[in-house]
């Protein structure tokens, strides 16, 4: 994509077409795009994420044909999809579990980036675009969850939209705007439906930019060492396409397991009860993929403070490229950082568990500790470790690292998936 394509269509019609709209040479460049040959399976999640987006959009469009965004009908229209629409149950379960699969994939994708230093120069913009996608995904999933208009849909919407009232001066105005009235009601449902339909296409747009930004420097790789020569790479097609396809199918097996055998495992029972503004559920809990952030929100006793901390937990990701002071990208060669990386992962899990439990007793203390550690990791540990750590010697090139690991049989230790 950088510079002019070397591709010349042979067919005269194709030639004529390509000259006016160079789609053919662009697709060609995509297929031959040189990609590091030592990528492990963690690099297949980009493709898996694109597949997830397509699945959500396709199933979503079909759902929208049968769904009614009205407080009196939304719940029953979803049940109508489940019962009376041909294969409606399948479409709905795919869409519902697809959201969870999407987040599983995106979290692995992000952690991959953090482990191998993929956010470091020259890929900062690529990383920032990724964080924007994450934010859009969260907004989309949150609004989607409101649509079936169950108890948790309603009360989740109420709790989360209420948070905006903590913003100084304009807070109340923002909340009224979100609600389209003075509480969560029909106008809220309507605008959420409209936005829920819009945002996936915004995501698709940012994904296009994300991939564009990827094609300038090319992919990072497990060694973090930049590509030095053609020896280090393989053409994207067929090498990477086939590998990605295999990984995507394995991912679909997990996906299908949930859709066909545990379709409601990841949801909340209480959402099978229609929204009731007069009956507050005992525990209001978001979907699993929001739990760590929910824990951070509740760790701060002050409303505005909680909102800032929760927002900050994502905003801090934008600054990660500049918080990291290490010269070396990959954690493979960073013995100290590598340990802190895993501590970070464990800490996020703990936050998730805290988020799922009522904010009382020990949970409060654990939540506050874990929240503090979350920020400590980004704001203190990452800058400091980068400065004091003595990285292991780097291989001269990707090819060399591959050769060095050959006698031992398998390629150098790859983190389990």
Partner 1 sequence: MKTLAKLLTAAALSTALLAGPAFAAGKAKNAQDIDFSFEGPFGTFDRAQLQRGFQVYKEVCSACHSADLLHYRNLGESGGPEFSEAQVKAIAAEYEIQDGPNEDGEMFERPGRPSDKFKAPFTNANEARAANGGAYPPDMSLITKAREGFHYPWYVSPFIKMWTGNGGPEYVHAVLTGYSDPPEKEAANAPEGKSYNAYFAAGPWISMAPPLSEDGVEYSDGTKASVDQQAKDVAAFLAWAAEPKLEERKSLGLQVMIYLIILALLMYLVKLKLWRDVEH
Catalytic residues: 215, 219, 243-244, 287
What is the DSSP code string of 158-204? HHHHHHGGGSTTTHHHHHHHHHTSSSSSHHHHHHHHHHHHHHHHHHH
Binding test (CB under 8 A) with partner 1, winner from 58, 245, 300, 372:
245
74 binds partner 1 (CB under 8 A): no
Q: Which does 253 bind (CB under 5 to 8 A by kind): ligand HEM, partner 1, none?
A: partner 1
For residue 222, give the nearest of 31, 20, 14, 410 by alpha carbon.
Answer: 410
Question: Closer to ligand HEM at the Cβ: 76 or 162?
Answer: 76
Distance of alpha carbon 7 from alpha carbon 25, whole angstroms: 6
Q: Which is nearer to partner 1, 208 or 256 (CB)?
A: 256
Assess 257 for contact with partner 1 (CB under 8 A): yes
- Does residue 209 belong to the site contacting partner 1 (CB under 8 A)? no
Residue 89, interface with partner 1 (CB under 8 A)?
yes
Least separation, in Å, of the C-beta of 46 and ligand HEM? 15
We find the least distance from the C-beta atom of residue 237 to partner 1, in angstroms, to be 11
Among 42, 259, 284, 351, binds partner 1 (CB under 8 A): 259
Q: Which of residues 137-196 bind ligand HEM (CB under 6 A)?
A: 137, 140-141, 144-145, 147-148, 196
String of contacts with partner 1 for each residue 396-415, x by CB under 8 A: ---x--xx--x----x----
Query: How many C-beta atoms lie closer than 10 Å to residue 48's C-beta?
Result: 22
Using the minimum distance from each CB to partner 1, give the nearer residue, 79 or 185.
Answer: 79
Rounded CA separation 135/292 (Å): 15
Of 33, 41, 37, the closest CA to residue 249 belongs to 41
CA 300 to chain centre: 25
Q: How many residues bind ligand HEM (CB under 6 A)?
A: 25
55 part of the interface to partner 1, by CB under 8 A: no
Contact present, 76 and 125 (Cβ < 8 Å): no
Which pairing describes strands 233-235 and 34-36: parallel, antiparallel, or unpaired?
antiparallel
Query: Alpha carbon 27 to chain centroid distance?
Result: 26
Helix (H) or strand (E) holding 234: strand 233-235
Q: Which of the choices partner 1, ligand HEM, none does residue 206 contact, using the CB cut-off of 5 to 8 A by kind? A: none
Q: Closest residue to ligand HEM, Cβ-based?
A: 60
Minimum distance from residue 89 beta carbon to partner 1 (Å) = 4
Q: Is 95 in the site for ligand HEM (CB under 6 A)?
A: yes
Angle at Cα 210 formed by Cα 249 and Cα 105, nearest 5°? 35
- Tokens read off for 214: 């990827």
Q: How many residues bind partner 1 (CB under 8 A)?
A: 41
Binding mask 142-181 for partner 1 (x = CB under 8 A): ----------------------------------------
The single residue among 1, 65, 170, 242 that binds partner 1, judged by CB under 8 A, is: 242
Q: Does 62 bind partner 1 (CB under 8 A)?
A: no
What are the counts of helices (DSSP H) followed by strands (DSSP E) for the chain? 16, 2
Q: Which does 200 bind (CB under 5 to 8 A by kind): partner 1, ligand HEM, none?
A: ligand HEM
Q: Which helix (H) or strand (E) holds 87?
A: none
CA–CA gap between residue 101 and residue 93 (Å, rounded): 12
Task: Residue 38: name its binding partner from partner 1, ligand HEM, none (Cβ under 5 to 8 Å by kind).
Answer: partner 1
φ and ψ of 22, to 5 deg? -75, 50
CB closer to partner 1 out of 174 and 252: 252
Question: What whole-number distance in Å separates Cα of residue 193 and Cα of residue 113?
Answer: 32
Pick 142 or 164: Cβ nearer ligand HEM? 142
Q: Two tokens at 19? A: 């000259």
> CA-CA distance, 288 to 103, in Å (whole number)?
9
Considering the complex, what minimum distance in angstroms separates the CB of residue 236 from partner 1? 13
Q: Is residue 268 a contact partner of residue 285, using CB atoms and an 8 Å limit?
A: yes
Residue list 45-74, contact with ligand HEM (CB under 6 A): 53, 56-57, 60-61, 63-64, 67
Tokens for 356, please give them. Answer: 């799922």
In 10 A of CB 22, how many CB atoms?
A: 16
Q: How far is the CB of 274 from ligand HEM (least distance, A)?
A: 13
Task: Kindly list the residues in this chain that would bind ligand HEM in the complex (CB under 6 A).
Answer: 53, 56-57, 60-61, 63-64, 67, 78, 92, 95-96, 99, 102, 137, 140-141, 144-145, 147-148, 196-197, 200, 203
């Amino acid at each position: 994509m950088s510079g002019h394509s070397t591709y010349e269509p042979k067919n005269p019609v194709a030639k004529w077409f390509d000259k006016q709209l160079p789609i053919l040479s662009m697709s060609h460049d995509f297929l031959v795009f040189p990609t590091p040959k030592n990528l492990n399976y963690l690099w297949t999640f980009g493709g898996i994420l694109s597949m997830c987006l397509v699945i959500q959009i396709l199933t979503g469009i079909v759902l929208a044909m049968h769904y009614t965004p009205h407080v009196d009908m939304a719940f029953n229209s979803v049940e109508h999809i489940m019962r009376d629409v041909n294969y409606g149950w399948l479409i709905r379960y795919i869409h519902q579990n697809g959201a969870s699969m999407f987040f599983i994939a995106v979290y692995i994708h992000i952690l991959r980036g953090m482990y191998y230093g993929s956010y470091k120069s020259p890929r900062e913009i690529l990383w920032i675009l990724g964080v924007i996608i994450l934010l859009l995904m969260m907004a989309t999933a949150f609004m989607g969850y409101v649509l079936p208009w169950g108890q948790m849909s309603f009360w989740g919407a109420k709790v989360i939209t209420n948070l905006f009232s903590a913003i100084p001066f304009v807070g109340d105005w923002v909340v009224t705007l979100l609600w389209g009235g003075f509480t969560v009601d029909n106008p809220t449902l309507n605008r959420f439906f409209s936005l829920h339909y819009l945002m996936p296409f915004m995501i698709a747009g940012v994904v296009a930019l994300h991939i564009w930004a990827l094609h300038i420097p090319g992919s990072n790789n497990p060694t973090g060492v930049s590509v030095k020569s053609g020896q280090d790479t393989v053409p994207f097609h067929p090498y990477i396409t086939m590998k990605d396809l295999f990984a995507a199918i394995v991912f679909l097996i997990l996906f299908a397991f949930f859709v066909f055998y545990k379709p409601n495992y990841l949801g909340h029972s209480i959402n099978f009860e229609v929204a009731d503004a007069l009956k507050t559920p005992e525990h209001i809990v978001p979907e699993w993929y929001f739990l760590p952030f929910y824990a951070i929100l509740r760790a701060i006793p002050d409303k505005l403070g909680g909102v800032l901390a929760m927002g900050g937990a994502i905003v801090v990701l934008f600054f990660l490229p500049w918080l990291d002071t290490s010269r070396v990208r990959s954690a493979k060669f960073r013995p100290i950082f590598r340990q802190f990386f895993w501590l970070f992962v464990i800490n996020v899990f703990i936050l998730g568990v805290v988020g799922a439990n009522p904010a009382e007793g020990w949970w409060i203390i654990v939540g506050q500790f874990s929240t503090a550690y979350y920020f400590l990791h980004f704001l203190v540990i990452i800058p400091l470790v980068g400065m004091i750590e003595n990285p292991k010697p780097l291989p001269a090139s990707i090819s060399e690292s591959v050769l060095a690991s050959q006698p031992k049989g398998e390629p150098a230790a790859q983190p389990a998936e």
